[in-house]
Homo-oligomer: A and B are copies of this chain.
């Protein structure tokens, strides 16, 4: 399974602490505000719990999605992901 974490966190220090926590959990940054990595429900809950302790509920939002290896491998990617592309980088013909 893969855990995908996507977030809108306005405060710089909260955002930095969340990204560090996600890295500590073994997730890789694929966009400025998106991390993905191996894991099941336990990792997803751990990520959500970390987010709940770090972000401001009134302004911020974090989505933690559990998806299969195949679904992440089949993701269509346009442009340049930050982490080494774990997915087949799709070059879309015009």
Q: CB-CB < 8 A to A72: which residues of B? A: 65
| Chain A residues within CB distance 8 Å of chain B | 4, 6-8, 30-34, 44-45, 47-49, 51-53, 55-67, 71-72, 74-82, 90, 92, 94
Given contacts A55-B79, A78-B52, contact A65 B4 (CB under 8 A): yes
Bound: A34/B65 CA distance, A:
13
**Smallest Cβ distance from A19 to chain B, in angstroms?**
14
B71 touches A57 (CB 8 A): no
Pick 24 A–B contacts, CB within 8 A, sort by A: A8-B31, A8-B32, A8-B33, A8-B34, A30-B61, A30-B63, A31-B33, A48-B78, A48-B92, A52-B78, A57-B79, A60-B79, A61-B78, A61-B81, A61-B82, A63-B75, A63-B77, A63-B81, A64-B75, A64-B77, A64-B78, A66-B74, A67-B67, A71-B71
